[in-house]
Amino acid sequence: MENKKENDEKPPFFSSWSRIYMVVLGFLGLLIILFYWLTLAVR
């Protein structure tokens, strides 16, 4: 029960953990696109 409560504990931002994970994945995707653009732009 205590563990269930801990797992359900909300993060300080974005109201749920799955949203935080999506933000992190989105940021990773953005970085990869940005890096690829940089690779092509200055080649």
What would the x/- binding string for other proteins be over residues 3 to 22, using CB under 8 A? x--xx-xxxx----x--xx-
Cα→Cα distances 23→7, 13, 31, 43, Å: 19, 11, 12, 30
Based on the shown chain and the rule CB under 8 A, indicate whether residue 30 belongs to the binding site for other proteins: no
Identity of residue 17: W
Based on the shown chain and the rule CB under 8 A, indicate whether residue 1 belongs to the binding site for other proteins: no
Q: Which residues contact 16 (CB under 8 A, 6 or more apart)?
A: 10
Q: Which residues bind other proteins (CB under 8 A)?
A: 3, 6-7, 9-12, 17, 20-21, 24-25, 27-28, 31-32, 35-36, 38-39, 41-43
